[in-house]
């Protein structure tokens, strides 16, 4: 892409967005625990696979509850205190895994850790909304996603080295320390907003008509996001298993295909968003992203296990993420009143939390019972129906713009 697109993509963003993004990169660079905890439990602690699965299932439940709690707090406190507290408390909780080694104990810790860690998300979303404008909000979201993807690129590589040469327990220490470091950065460089809610805020919160739970169009949007996430997260839930057991790829080849997803996001997303963000009709870009889903799974269905088709699948599924996710979050941040930002953002985070829980059980469950070809057909059909829902939202968006123009 032309160099000027990259310059424009990163220009005129609020200084605080850069601080938030750097803190997110630091935190996500240490987020290697979830990738290796199952191996730690089965290899070092000698848990059965069923016991390890039981423990990790508590992460999804904690994530959903944490997102709700974070949203509730964000509407009543300030996002600064919640983000810093979430980073510090989740790090301290994680360190307890150094001494807690029973299945029940680890399940409890994982649940509380996820609750604390994911209470960060609605507060972070509120901070993005606070420090961005409608004109650069999608790019602000894109910069945050860039930081997350870079962090996830660093984390697994470092985590594998640490687990191999230092031992799994050092992963908990490093992850906790990166959380503490991210909290320190926010504490030192991010301004702390006033905590006095004021009469107007109390009046908005007391008015049930402003609640996200009364916004039927937004609730329909959240349901669509949850379905989208469940389908998209097959890239992590079932596709690696397909590449290993059906296509016969080795772990290094699978790892490179997964890394390609992150690399493409880093290279393409920000300049593409910079080109598209001036359009007020954001749902047409979401629809493009959703239509990429059936195309991606069709490549696997007809690809006959060839590597070229696996690479094309990775490219197309990444385009789905690039087109859909930033504009979805833009809608979630832009729709509510400022005083309801936490509640709306919490529902958005919960949608992905539900998708995280549903994706592996549905994807691997269908593949185990009916085979991967049947799974791909179901994903293709489901994606096409999902696109109809977002097309309806796009039509409503067009109506809103026509009414406001009139």
Q: Is the pLDDT of residue 195 over 80?
A: no
pLDDT the model gives residue 404: 44
Statement to judge: residues 26 and 95 lie in one domain: yes
Is residue 159, in this structure, part of any structural domain at all? Answer: no
Statement to judge: residues 118 and 218 lie in one domain: no
Statement to judge: residues 111 and 235 lie in one domain: no
pLDDT the model gives residue 85: 94
Q: For residue 281, what is the domain's CATH number?
A: 1.20.1250.20
Is residue 158, in this structure, part of any structural domain at all? Answer: no
- As a whole number of angstroms, the distance between CA 286 and CA 389 comes to 11
HEC string of the chain equals CCHHHHHHHCCCCCHHHHHHHHHHHHHHHCCCHHHHHHHHHHHHCCCCHHHHHHHHHHHHHHHHHHHHHHHHHHCCCCHHHHHHHHHHHHHHHHHHHHCCCCHHHHHHHHHHHHHHHHCHHHHHHHHHHHHCCCCCHHHHHHHHHHHHHHHHHHHHHHHHHHHHHCCCHHHHHHHHHHHHHHHHHHHHHCCCCCCCCHHHHHHHHHCHHHCHHHCHHHHHHHHHHHHHHHHHCHHHHCHHHHHHHCCCCCHHHHHHHHHHHHHHHHHHHHHHHHHHCCCCCCHHHHHHHHHHHHHHHHHHHHCCCCHHHHHHHHHHHHHHHHHHHHHHHHHHHHCCCHHHHHHHHHHHHHHHHHHHHHHHHHHHHHHHHHCHHHHHHHHHHHHHHHHHHHHHHHHHHHHHHHHHHC
Q: Is the pLDDT of residue 190 over 70?
A: yes
Is residue 152, in this structure, part of any structural domain at all? Answer: no
Statement to judge: residues 92 and 218 lie in one domain: no
Q: Is the pLDDT of residue 382 over 80?
A: yes
- As a whole number of angstroms, the distance between CA 367 and CA 351 comes to 23
Is residue 360, in this structure, part of any structural domain at all? Answer: yes
Of 92-96, 166-170, 176-180, 207-211, give the lowest mean pLDDT range: 207-211
Of 124, 156, 190, the domain-final residue: 190
Statement to judge: residues 185 and 233 lie in one domain: no
- % of the chain beyond a pLDDT of 70: 89
Is residue 269, in this structure, part of any structural domain at all? Answer: yes
Statement to judge: residues 303 and 379 lie in one domain: yes
Confidence of residue 167 (pLDDT cuts 50, 70, 90): confident
Rounded mean pLDDT, 345-367? 86
pLDDT the model gives residue 32: 64
Statement to judge: residues 176 and 287 lie in one domain: no
Instruction: Identify which of 127-136, 194-203, 223-232, 344-353 has the greatest average pLDDT.
Output: 223-232
The count of domains in the chain is 2
Domain holding 45, by residue range, is 17-137+166-190
Q: What is the DSSP letter of 25?
A: H
Confidence of residue 403 (pLDDT cuts 50, 70, 90): very low
Is residue 155, in this structure, part of any structural domain at all? Answer: no
Is residue 5, in this structure, part of any structural domain at all? Answer: no
Statement to judge: residues 309 and 239 lie in one domain: yes
Q: Is the pLDDT of residue 196 over 50?
A: no
Q: What is the pLDDT of residues 8-45, one digit of tens each?
A: 777 788 999 999 999 988 888 766 666 677 778 888 88
pTM: 0.81
Q: Is the pLDDT of residue 372 over 80?
A: yes
Q: Is the pLDDT of residue 332 over 80?
A: yes
Statement to judge: residues 186 and 225 lie in one domain: no
Statement to judge: residues 249 and 108 lie in one domain: no
pLDDT the model gives residue 209: 65
Higher-confidence residue of 230 and 336: namely: 230
Of 71-85, 189-203, 259-273, 390-404, give the lowest mean pLDDT range: 189-203
Is residue 195, in this structure, part of any structural domain at all? Answer: no
How does the average pLDDT of the chain come out, rounded?
A: 84
Q: What is the pLDDT of residues 92-146, one digit of tens each?
A: 999 999 999 999 999 999 999 989 988 998 998 889 988 988 888 888 888 888 8
Statement to judge: residues 183 and 225 lie in one domain: no
Statement to judge: residues 251 and 357 lie in one domain: yes
Of 125, 156, 190, the domain-final residue: 190
């Amino acid at each position: 892409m032309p160099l000027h697109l990259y310059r424009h993509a990163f220009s005129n963003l609020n200084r605080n967005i850069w601080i938030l993004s750097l803190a997110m990169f630091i935190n996500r660079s240490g987020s290697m625990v979830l990738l290796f905890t199952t191996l730690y439990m089965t290899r070092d602690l000698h848990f059965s696979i069923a016991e390890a699965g039981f423990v990790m299932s508590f992460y999804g439940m904690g994530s959903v509850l944490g997102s709700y709690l974070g949203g509730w707090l964000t509407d009543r406190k300030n996002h600064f205190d919640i983000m810093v507290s979430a980073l510090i408390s989740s790090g301290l909780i994680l360190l307890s895994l150094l001494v807690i080694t029973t299945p029940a104990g680890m399940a409890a810790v994982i649940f509380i850790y996820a609750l604390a860690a994911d209470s960060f998300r609605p507060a972070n979303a509120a901070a993005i909304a606070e420090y961005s404008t409608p004109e650069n909000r999608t790019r602000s979201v894109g910069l945050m996603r860039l930081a997350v993807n870079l962090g996830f690129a660093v984390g697994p590589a470092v985590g594998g080295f640490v687990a191999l040469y230092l031992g799994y327990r050092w992963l908990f220490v490093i992850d906790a320390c990166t959380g503490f470091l991210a909290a320190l950065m926010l504490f030192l460089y991010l301004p702390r907003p006033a905590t006095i809610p004021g009469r107007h805020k109390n009046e908005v919160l007391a008015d049930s008509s402003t609640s996200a739970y009364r916004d039927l169009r937004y609730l329909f949007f959240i349901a669509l996001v949850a379905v989208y996430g469940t389908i998209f997260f097959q890239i992590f839930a079932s596709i690696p298993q397909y590449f290993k057991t059906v296509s016969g790829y080795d772990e290094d080849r699978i790892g490179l295909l997964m890394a390609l997803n992150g690399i493409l996001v880093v290279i393409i997303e920000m300049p593409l968003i910079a080109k598209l963000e001036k359009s007020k009709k954001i749902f047409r870009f979401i629809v493009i992203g959703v239509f990429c889903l059936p195309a991606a799974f069709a490549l696997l269905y007809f690809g006959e296990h060839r590597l070229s088709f696996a690479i094309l699948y990775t490219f197309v599924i990444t385009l789905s993420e690039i087109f859909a996710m930033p504009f979805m979050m833009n809608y979630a941040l832009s729709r509510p009143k400022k005083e309801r930002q936490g509640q709306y953002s919490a529902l958005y985070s919960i949608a992905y939390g539900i998708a995280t829980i549903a994706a592996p059980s549905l994807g691997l469950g269908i593949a185990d019972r009916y085979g991967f070809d049947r799974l791909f057909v179901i994903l293709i059909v489901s994606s096409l129906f999902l696109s109809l829902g977002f097309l309806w939202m796009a039509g409503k968006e067009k109506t809103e713009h026509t009414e406001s123009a009139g």
